[in-house]
Structure 1
């Protein structure tokens, strides 16, 4: 007899080939996603370290130029830059600078409004710092935490920053000759109405009228100039020189030159001197050249002069034509050749016969303003124009 089968048949299941393909694809996608994530994480880290490098480089440049101004020493400036840079972490490590990464020079404004840095230019007013994260730099390259995913474990970058500080050493050179006691009419020996009834000789040997004299108006204009420097926070030191002529008449006398104040950032010193001068008779001639010479001497020899970083400026005021001493044009040329001293000139009143001479002084010195005023308001505006023409701190 035949055995009767139960009717069940063994079924053999074959593994589907698509399942293996999906696993391979999933593994490939996972690797791609990790690589993409690594790329974007690395890119973000690159941007972060560049931001850190920018902050460190900017701070180092500012520190270098500030220390330079304070000490007049480039070595001190470099030390300050290295110190401040080391306090910043870039890519997890302190930024190190070499001396060659820190340069000093002059930054000047171009016609398009930008600034151009010239290494070793003088007067020195700027520092340029190169922040480097490269294989050859003191700080080394940036290590990428996720760089292995994209085959780039490190990368190199560098930035530079220029910090400029504009410092000014300014000497104001004022006429204190006999004509500074006159009024503004333009008539020679015409004194302010308040004292006009007195004899001419008495007026000549008396202190100038405190409100209507040329000296009173000039003093107010100079004080306004100093106020604007303060308001604009111009980094300036100001000195004061007055000139007249050597003259003696009995108990009265004048000297051609007086250094009233050395360079100072305490402008009240200048104001006090102007007040004191207005309380004594103003007599004598007009030796403009002596005033320019004394101003240039102060700018180049004073212990308060910032010979390395300060831009020297002379502001010359006159209400008449020089009649004593050396003509001032050649002296202005010498000052500009010696230290690039900028000279501004202001002439005043209808009797300012020396206007053409002062124009030549300014043209010879270069870059300065040559202004003329016929009224008290115009004189004040002239000094304001000079104050507002002085640039202040710029950082690139």
Structure 2
């Protein structure tokens, strides 16, 4: 039988095996080096990606904090007419916001007051120091020479960059505003503040019928409205630029063919323009006062008031195309006359108008929250006279303040 050759008996075979083993060992070594290089590259890319994402987050936080600071400064300026108060409000608001996990620190020289000027191309520019002040600019910075200091990076040291130094500027300005109040003057405005229908303030005459008398001078819902309007006027009178205001009052149409019209010998229209658009804010108080001595008749034709206010504000679009137009709808009742107020709200929205609504003694079925929501406005429910006054004051303080840069 022929013997099978073995490695030991065949030198050539032994040499071949040693060569193959050496090649395999070399390939394994080269592969380990390649794997190590790839792992290092992946780690570097991961660290770089983490820092880039963090930098973007910090930029976003800085923008939000700077915008909020500028708007707070402008709100304080309008409310107080005090430059120092505006600067303090901007600094405090910045500090209340976290950027990179730390409060955003500003110094007084980073908050500037000036005027917002409209250019020929309809852009808006900021003129620092120009009176009257109508804008606030905040220049935030997280740099080596700023109060906030630079933002440390997680892995920046690996690449020789330990910190990130972002900056941001924001300008908040008070803009032109045109407001039309749409005020409910239906008979329920003569009721007291208990929220009970046909419940009148003490001292209201009963004969021949309470309907035949004007609202109580201090305890009626109309009297509460008068105080709220006074608060609105007091606040807006200090603002620059001053808003242009108008007022319509509304109810359902009453003629002497109706019981209350015959009783009072009065014809009462569904809408009446009490104050055309004007910068004379005191005319609002005068109109409310004039109504206080008259009987109030009719039901709640809310859409009539919205439609008339919309008509007044739309009439100025050609001459004042950049003004913000707002309807302030005030009512104490539920819609029960005229077309659906939600349809009137849709028309207002299409015209670019915002409706803020104030619901005195709101109850189930009140559509004013929906009316405001359709137009991007705010509904203010008021359960008593103090809340009504607070609602009007809040609206006055927050009339459009916009970011222009």
How many angstroms apart in 2 are the aligned matches of 1:392 and 1:299? 19
Aligned equivalent of 2:305? 291
Aligned equivalent of 2:281? 267
Aligned equivalent of 2:224? 217
How many angstroms apart in 1 are the aligned matches of 2:219 and 2:271? 25
Tell me if 1:320 matches 2:330. Answer: no
Aligned equivalent of 1:348? 360
5+ residue gaps in structure 1?
1-57, 66-76, 79-101, 108-124, 127-159
Contact 1:262 1:302 in 2 (8 A): no
Tell me the TM-score normalised to structure 1 length.
Answer: 0.57
Deviation at 1:254, TM superposition (A): 1.5
How many angstroms apart in 2 are the aligned matches of 1:163 and 1:386? 18
Of residues 155, 168, 175, the one that matches 2:177 is: 168
Write out aligned runs for 1:32-43 (5 A).
Answer: none
Aligned equivalent of 1:278? 292
Deviation at 1:302, TM superposition (A): 4.5
Over 3 Å counting, the alpha-carbon distance change for 1:315 and 1:169 in structure 2 is: same
Write out aligned runs for 1:106-255 (5 A).
Answer: 166-195=175-204, 198-199=205-206, 201-248=208-255, 249-250=261-262, 251-255=265-269
Aligned equivalent of 2:62? none
Deviation at 1:336, TM superposition (A): 1.2
Contact 1:348 1:379 in 2 (8 A): yes
SS in 2 for 1:231: coil
How many angstroms apart in 1 are the aligned matches of 2:230 and 2:383? 19
CA RMSD, aligned part only? 3.1
Deviation at 1:193, TM superposition (A): 1.0
How many angstroms apart in 1 are the aligned matches of 2:396 and 2:178? 13
Deviation at 1:105, TM superposition (A): 7.3
- 1:283-341 CA deviation, whole Å, 9 max, x = no partner? 111110000000000001149x8531110000101101111111111111111112x21
How many angstroms apart in 2 are the aligned matches of 1:162 and 1:217? 38
Tell me if 1:363 matches 2:373. Answer: yes
How many angstroms apart in 2 are the aligned matches of 1:363 and 1:174? 19
SS in 2 for 1:171: strand
Contact 2:174 2:240 in 1 (8 A): no
Of residues 385, 388, 391, the one that matches 1:379 is: 388
How many angstroms apart in 2 are the aligned matches of 1:163 and 1:376? 33
Over 3 Å counting, the alpha-carbon distance change for 1:394 and 1:277 in structure 2 is: same
Deviation at 1:354, TM superposition (A): 4.5
Alignment coverage as a number of residue pairs: 247
SS in 1 for 2:182: strand
Tell me the TM-score normalised to structure 2 length.
Answer: 0.56
How many angstroms apart in 2 are the aligned matches of 1:163 and 1:230? 20
How many angstroms apart in 1 are the aligned matches of 2:350 and 2:125? 17
How many angstroms apart in 1 are the aligned matches of 2:321 and 2:328? 21
Aligned equivalent of 2:31? none
- 1:146-166 CA deviation, whole Å, 9 max, x = no partner? xxxxxxxxxxxxxx9989551
Contact 1:166 1:392 in 2 (8 A): yes
Contact 1:235 1:392 in 2 (8 A): no
Over 3 Å counting, the alpha-carbon distance change for 1:265 and 1:323 in structure 2 is: same
How many angstroms apart in 2 are the aligned matches of 1:201 and 1:236? 44
How many angstroms apart in 2 are the aligned matches of 1:376 and 1:359? 19
SS in 2 for 1:215: helix
- 1:26-45 CA deviation, whole Å, 9 max, x = no partner? xxxxxxxxxxxxxxxxxxxx
Aligned equivalent of 1:310? 323
